[in-house]
Amino acid sequence: MENHSAMSAILRDRERLPELREARVPAAGSLIQIMMNIPGPCKKLDCTYELFELCIRALQEELASAACAVLSLERTDLDVGPVAYMQVSWEARALKRFCLLLEQGHPLSAYWDMDIYSPSGRAVGRREIGAPPRSCYLCSQSAKVCGSQRRHSPEELIGRMTADLTAYRQAQMGVPVERRAGT
């Protein structure tokens, strides 16, 4: 019963996301909606919040190095997990390409979900800019297919996520990290 209640709360929050996002779409520039790709009914894990903050920090640093102004940043905590809305001074398609480059270069980006919206509120998708679909972080197949077919248990996925986060922390401290096959 508790699992059903948690899933109901997550679904309610997912239905609220468009309203929350539309209230924040800028008159110019673009909006980034930042969420986490966390499997299972519990989205409020300690590692979720750490990954979320690492995503925001990495994004802010990369935007600053590209001379892109962050106009506002607002965080909220929902049953779907932490959500942030970042307004920036870039055109939406260029920003989507930029965020995909960040994803390609950061070892934790598989857990980040950065959706880009234009001032009209229109989402800019991967397909629109010729990028491939997101890959599963366990088997490298399509994440959508793996998710819809439930190829991996939430425990497997969360285990990988926590292992990747631990490896990232160790690398940041200069501790040698043993690479897994396929990574």
Give the mean model confidence (pLDDT) for residues 15-26.
Answer: 86
Q: Does residue 177 carry a pLDDT above 60?
A: no
Q: Which residues contact 83 (CB under 8 A, 6 or more apart)?
A: 17, 20, 33, 34, 35, 75, 76, 77
Would you state the pLDDT for residue 169? 92
pTM: predicted TM-score of the whole model, two decimal places: 0.87
Computed over every residue of the chain, the mean pLDDT equals 89
**pLDDT tens column, 81-140:** 999 999 999 999 999 999 999 988 899 999 999 999 999 999 999 999 999 888 898 888
Q: How confident is the model at residue 182 (pLDDT cuts 50, 70, 90)?
A: very low
> In this structure, are residues 116 and 92 in contact, taking their beta carbons and an 8 Å threshold?
yes
Going by C-alpha positions, the residue among 134, 149, 68 that lies closest to residue 104 is 134
Q: Does residue 178 carry a pLDDT above 80?
A: no
Q: Does residue 18 carry a pLDDT above 70?
A: yes
Amino acid, single-letter form, for residue 135:
S
Q: Does residue 23 carry a pLDDT above 80?
A: yes
Longest dimension (CA), the chain: 49
Going by C-alpha positions, the residue among 135, 36, 119 that lies closest to residue 71 is 119
Q: Which domains does the chain have, with CATH numbers?
A: 2-132 (3.30.70)
Give the mean model confidence (pLDDT) for residues 74-83.
Answer: 94
